[in-house]
Amino acid sequence: MIANGVAAALSRDAVKLARYGEDTYFQESWDHLGDLCTEPVDFAHRHGLVLLKPDAVVSRQLLTAMDWLADNGFRIVAARPVLMHPTRVRSLWYFQWNAATAYRRRLADLFMASVASMLLVLRAEGEPELPTSVLVTDGKGPTAPAEREPGQLRYLLGQYSYLLNQVHTTDEPADVVRELAVYLDSADRAVLVTEAAEGGDRRDAARELAARLYAQAPARDLTVEPAARRLRVWAAQLARDPGLAAEARADLADALALDRYDGLRAVLEAAWRHGLDGPLWDVVVVAATVFPMKKRAHRNLIGTVTAADWTPAPTPYDRVIIH
């Protein structure tokens, strides 16, 4: 349980607070922040987390994102590489993943661990009334490309697909607390929190990290039409390969005979059915376009909190009480 005054400074969502109060990641990080900071609520309020995902790495948008953050009044106070393996992916989006389709889970497993993501810790310049996490998420833009607007970070980074949205941010201070434990173990978290609390500008270190990540993964075009052409060429070559089982060749040939998206769906389903690994980013780009990413009959366990939910600013919070 969190004292009411503290709860108001961590989240505007009562359901989230109830679920996080029983969540191992939140509990671990909250206890740890209490050891590391004299005012853990203040740390969670002043800082936000941004995860620039592998699609931002391969599309070479890390520096673009950092420039946007600087131009919009956010200072990078820490930066780390984070490998998003399947367990970490499920932990991060545990309260949303129940609504993800099997296709979305499969694709996330394919690309999220392909290269390390970049984790940035931000602090809003000046003394804004709203939490840094709320401010940066408000400027990030929505997941659906059609709903993004000029000036938003996701609009700037590229209008690829619902899945390939390049950036994840913490919605509000409670998420900052929880996600610190998802991304980092206790030792790494202690170093990062101490570094971030110093408040120094670490943009140069973040740029050096970006260069290292770029060196680990070739640049890729994430637009769907070129990826679709390459995927069809790959499938056509396999369909003529005498070393491949006759059934697999026939399934691929049948899929290639279909038009446009029906054909691409059939190619991917045939490849997966026969255990064939296509070119990773072409598979991800095409599949994210032709398959549903969200189950219509399911709703996220926790909703989305926006800046409007935080206006007016929260009332002063009390000393932390955890039971």
pLDDT digits over 70-104, tens only? 999 999 999 999 999 999 999 999 999 999 999 99
Q: Does the pLDDT of residue 159 top 90, yes or no?
A: no
What is the reported pTM?
0.94
How large is the average pLDDT for residues 123-146? 94
Q: Does the pLDDT of residue 4 top 70, yes or no?
A: no
- Angle CA 309–12–153, to nearest 5: 55
How large is the average pLDDT for residues 276-304? 93
Question: What's the one-letter identity of residue 111?
Answer: F
Q: Find out whether 10 and 174 touch, Cβ atoms under 8 Å.
A: yes
Domain boundary assignment for the chain: 4-220, 224-290
How large is the average pLDDT for residues 112-119? 98
- Strand 47-52, strand 117-124: pairing: antiparallel
pLDDT of residue 322: 39
pLDDT in tens, 138-150: 999 998 899 999 9
Q: What superfamily would CATH give domain 4-220?
A: Nucleoside diphosphate kinase-like domain (3.30.70.141)
Confidence of residue 248 (pLDDT cuts 50, 70, 90): very high
Q: How far apart are the first and last CA of the chain?
A: 5
Question: What are the DSSP E strand ranges found in 92-210?
Answer: 117-124, 167-169
Structure-token pair, residue 101:
């389709």
- Sequence-distant (6+) residues with CB within 8 A of 318 are 3, 4, 5, 6
Question: What are the DSSP E strand ranges found in the chain?
Answer: 47-52, 74-82, 117-124, 167-169
Output the CA–CA distances (angstroms, integers) from residue 113 to 158, 175, 187, in the order listed: 21, 22, 22
Identify the three-state secondary structure at position 144. Answer: coil
Output the CA–CA distances (angstroms, integers) from residue 93 to 70, 86, 179, 299, 301, in the order listed: 27, 11, 10, 13, 10
